[in-house]
Amino acid sequence: MRRVASLFLPQLAIERLRRQERPSISRPEARRRFEPPVDDDPGACSVPRGGGWRPGARWARDDACTRGAVEAEIAALPAHRQPSIRELGRRSEAAEHPFRRMPDGDACVSEQSPVVKAQGRRPLVLVDVVGRRQEVAAACPAALALGIGVGMAATHARVLVSDLDVRPADREADAHLLERLALRAVRSWTPVASVSGHDGLWLDLTGVAHLFGDEERLCRRIVAFCRRAGFTARVAVADTPGAAHAIARYGTEPISLVPPVQTAEALLPLPLAALRVPNDALTAARRFGLERIGDLISMPRGPLARRLGLVTVERLDEALGRTPEPIVPVVDEAPPAVERRLLEPIGAAEQIGQVMADLLDELVELLRARGLGARALQFACDRVDGAEQKVSIGTSRPNRDPKHLLRLLSMRIERLDPGLGLEKFALTATHTEPLGATSLATILAGDAQAVDVPKLVDTLAGRAGRDALFRIGSVESHVPERAVARAAPLARPDGWPAWRRPARLLARPELLAQVVALLPDQPPRRFEWRGQIYRVANADGPERIHGEWWRSKNEVWGVRDYFCLEDVSGQRFWVFRRGDGVDAATGNLSWWLHGVFG
């Protein structure tokens, strides 16, 4: 019997943005507090290997008793006199404060309420243009708790909540994410998966549920995976895709399992909107007093089709299993790959390079036939002892030039450890993108000086590292240290403003000492920087830059007055004064050097 699961993601669009806002903080590697002992025979000492020894610990004394005797002695003491684990010297970290996890004084608010979960974040809604107005397409739980609903006008939502975070909806990004989830489902759970609407998936569980134990265990695994990924999920399993879709969206449980041949009973209490019928059919049903699916099951098909439309009858028959509803599965295309086995193992670098060249020729033909270009290649080798060696390369643009790709792979040969020899090789294009025909205009014109910048970037990145290459792009900000950011080597950043800026901008402004200047608008005549005194011959300014008040409350009244200075030796500096020289709230009138010209 056919069994279909419907995966429903009610907060897909909101939670996708929340995932992008997560801070990418890399945890530092744990450092050992004590170095392990050098000798392999520490003797009869009971100190754990790797440290933790303290001279005052009871188990570190020369006349220490055995562990069993100490535990028996402790057990004989009254409960109020038994020492804690910390007093026994078995823990080195600080004890947790007993009042740290006490709830807040506002006990009337539940910890599971959406408002508490969204503490520290503004209520978020996504709006979409419908006709001539903007409507709310999605809302976070905190916004829903404040009375904002899907379909509400964006202006009405802003009136209800003053500090509402309104962002445009991105349907294409949501659809792309659903396609990725469908591919993950094909690779992990079932061979047949399809996108269901704009907020869920269909999974055909026929013949695969027993591989995970049963249907409930498989659904728990799916929900746990979505929770780890940061998504709220509900799963329903039924005999038909329509029934699973309806129960997943209008059910109350995170996991709903409808027993076989009981689909009709499970659909009876659900509203008509669960059948995916048009809005005009829902309006007509309300006019006739039809609110539940159970109201339609007993009605004759002819009058029902005349009143609510033929689409409603088709949806009802598909949910009940009277009419088949096929699932068009997504196709998980295998990445282009070629492999080769050798009769005798090899280990020389020249021989490995020859195998790379042969595999690249075959892979390039495969990519050309599919109209693709390689963005990432993985070269895997199997040694005679069973160990596997892998090296990878990446390109800044889709590429299928075998000479260029071989040059990049040859830089990685020294990272391979052939051991007793390599006997099996595989080359896989792990990341591909569409690539059309290559332009030959420069070659036919005889321009031998034409430089292929992407190939140059790939070569330099292969030698110095991908992170060592970047460009400077402009950012929309008046504050100089925020107005620039790193960009990809081949990116085309936006144009630069016409303001005069120094060629070298310091990462952090440096404080100047012994500054002589007249207030409120005169440039400095003398200052000291890095232990050297400079006398100013010419100056230009001031250029006033206000703080970005929407970032921090400390920048609401912050002011900087920038000056371009030239000393008697011709050196030019870019300095600023904190404050306008009149109002003390704008700054403390300290002078800072921010950049150097030339």
The verdict on 132 and 150 lying in the same domain is yes
Assess if residue 39 is contained within a domain: no
Please tell me the predicted confidence (pLDDT) of residue 439: 65
**Residue 178 neighbours by CB under 8 Å, 6+ apart:** 12, 195, 198, 200, 201
Assess if residue 218 is contained within a domain: yes
Assess if residue 80 is contained within a domain: no
Residues of the chain whose pLDDT is less than 70? 23-67, 79-81, 83-120, 438-451
Please tell me the predicted confidence (pLDDT) of residue 564: 93
State how far the Cα of 247 lies from the Cα of 6, in Å rounded to an integer: 8
Query: For the chain, how many structural domains are there in total?
Result: 4
Instruction: Kindly report the CATH number assigned to the domain that includes residue 449.
Output: 3.30.1490.100
Assess if residue 480 is contained within a domain: no
Please tell me the predicted confidence (pLDDT) of residue 88: 55
- Whether this model's pTM surpasses 0.75: no
Structural domain span for residue 409: 337-461
Predicted confidence (pLDDT) per residue in 37-67, tens digit: 333 343 444 444 444 444 444 444 445 556 6
The verdict on 254 and 309 lying in the same domain is yes
The verdict on 361 and 443 lying in the same domain is yes
The verdict on 185 and 205 lying in the same domain is yes
Beta bridge partners of 564: 540, 574
Domain boundary pick from 320, 354, 370: 320
The verdict on 276 and 367 lying in the same domain is no
**Residue 486 neighbours by CB under 8 Å, 6+ apart:** 470, 471, 472, 473
Please tell me the predicted confidence (pLDDT) of residue 109: 37
What value, to the nearest 5°, has the Cα angle with vertex 500 and ends 497 and 503?
105
The verdict on 343 and 287 lying in the same domain is no
Assess if residue 100 is contained within a domain: no
Please give the backbone phi and psi of residue 44, each rounded to the nearest 5 degrees, phi first: -85, 5
The verdict on 444 and 525 lying in the same domain is no
Predicted confidence (pLDDT) per residue in 103-117, tens digit: 443 333 343 444 434
For 345-377, give the secondary structure using H, E and C. Answer: EECCHHHHHHHHHHHHHHHHHHHHHHCEEEEEE
Assess if residue 370 is contained within a domain: yes
The verdict on 425 and 557 lying in the same domain is no
The verdict on 236 and 300 lying in the same domain is yes
Domain boundary pick from 163, 190, 217: 163
The verdict on 192 and 232 lying in the same domain is yes
Assess if residue 492 is contained within a domain: no
Beta bridge partners of 235: 7, 255
Domain boundary pick from 266, 292, 320: 320
The verdict on 404 and 346 lying in the same domain is yes
The verdict on 247 and 384 lying in the same domain is no
Assess if residue 349 is contained within a domain: yes
